[in-house]
Structure 1
Amino acid sequence: MREVVDGVFEVGIGYVNVHLVVTDDGVVLVDTGLPRRSVKIAQVLHGMRRAIGDVHTVLLTHHHPDHSGGLAEVRRRSGARIVAHQADVPYVTGAERAVYSHPLLKLSSLLMGTPEPAPVDDVVTTDGYSPLPGFTAVHTPGHTAGHLSFLLDRSGGILFAGDAAAGKRGGRVGRTPKMVTADLDEQARSVAKLAGLEFEHAVFGHGRAISGRAVDRFREFAAV
């Protein structure tokens, strides 16, 4: 675990990052990591002298198992409100099952396991929706049709990019792997949309956080 900026913590669960945001009335969790690994979240919270019950909201960037795997358990243990985009809701609730065509993805899905279905309390249908004070949901489709990034109005702006992009060495921004992205052209447009915002810091589902005019790194990447 590391504190990216004041009150925003990055927690590595295997190869994916989840993020904890301390607020006046508890904790906001951005994504929940791999299936059967949510105990790591509880352990980190305990180290912060907090408990899983302090999590009042889960902001879900997208439905892939490495991001939604702990959702049902976190919900059971905390009663947290779950926020997700309309296009990804059927996969989160179990109404539809994601089908992966790439052999590596099929194997990965078997190894990770299928996330337990979870209810979605707040279905995002409009771009720029505010699920919580200080947070703005930005629809960034491409990786999945319902992918969301979240912008937090704190410390000059903190972007939770999810898998709209990845953090690379040297403070660079890069793409997530093509084989796990539904629409590459759509994803490129989403990166350009993020590059048009203003934020000092960016955190990612995969890769290293960027601090200090992080939006400039997005603008450089979008211009390639």
Structure 2
Amino acid sequence: MELTTGLRRIGNDIVAAHLVVRDDGITLIDAGLAGHWNDLKRELTAIGRTPSDIRGVVLTHGDSDHIGFAERLRSDYGVPVFVHAADAARARGEESTKPTWGGMRIGPVLRFLAYAIRQGGLRTRYLTEVREVADGQVLDLPGSPEVIGLPGHSPGSIAIHVPDVSAVFVGDGLTTGHVLTGKQGPQPAPFTDDQAAALSSLVRLERLNVDWVIPGHGKPWHGGIAEVLSAYRDVAEA
């Protein structure tokens, strides 16, 4: 699905990944769930591209619902996968955390779990090789994505700023659709290691001038940074 010229989405408001499409190739932001592979192929076919046009996958963090088909791209097509050093072990399946689930409602939880299972969430292939990135790094990939450290959800969570499409991808730094409660609008994401750190980290996005703020879960936000952060803080600090 096209959000704007050069920016496309696969998946849905439950779990999504995004493609930055430029003349020199494609940068994939996150890799959703394993079953999103078929969505990826359909999206690429629709724009006359193939997996070989993908120059790199940049992970906002190393959780299983963001690395879905990344190893398939890496092993079958030689696509490098980039992740912050602090989340590299998580992306390789060498460590994990079990943060509290927090509040929930049975309907949204069942929808989330059912969707994750249908999309291969139980057959995630962890990465066998990653390229580590650091805060402030600008990657030599289509769109020149900039890495912005956003620790809190996980130690190596990052935002990815792509000025070419006027967007910042925040992963689980925040959500606009809570998969456990069904609540809509900017708010803290579930399964977060350190909510206080996540809140503090978001100040690093205030300098950005973008049209799109795009989480891994929930609707893309089209309205700028100041508005989304204000709405988030109203919920987080209530």
Structure 2 length-normalised TM: 0.80
The alpha-carbon distance between structure 1 residues 14 and 116, as it changes in their structure 2 partners (threshold 3 A), is farther
SS of 2:43's partner is helix
SS of 2:72's partner is helix
The alpha-carbon distance between structure 1 residues 208 and 118, as it changes in their structure 2 partners (threshold 3 A), is same
Q: Does the 8 Å CA contact 1:60/1:68 hold for their aligned counterparts?
A: yes
The alpha-carbon distance between structure 1 residues 24 and 31, as it changes in their structure 2 partners (threshold 3 A), is same
| Aligned pair partner of 1:117 in 126, 133, 136 | 126
Which amino acid in the other structure matches residue 11 of structure 1? Answer: I
Residues matched between the structures, number: 214
Equivalences for residues 99-118 of structure 1 within 5 A: 99-100=97-98, 102=100, 111=117, 112-113=121-122, 115-118=124-127
| Aligned pair partner of 1:144 in 134, 138, 154 | 154
RMSD, aligned α-carbons: 2.7
SS of 1:87's partner is helix
Q: Does the 8 Å CA contact 1:65/1:114 hold for their aligned counterparts?
A: no
CA distance in 2, matches of 1:9, 1:136: 18
Residue number in structure 1 paired with 2:96: 98
C-alpha distance after superposition, 1:177-220 (max 9, x if no partner): 2xx000001100122222343222211101111224x1122341
Unaligned runs of 5+ in 2: none
- Are residue 176 (structure 1) and residue 189 (structure 2) matched? yes
- Are residue 129 (structure 1) and residue 127 (structure 2) matched? no
Residue number in structure 2 paired with 1:7: 6
Unaligned runs of 5+ in 1: none
SS of 2:60's partner is coil
RCO comparison, higher one (Cα < 8 Å, 6+):
2
SS of 1:4's partner is strand
- Are residue 22 (structure 1) and residue 48 (structure 2) matched? no
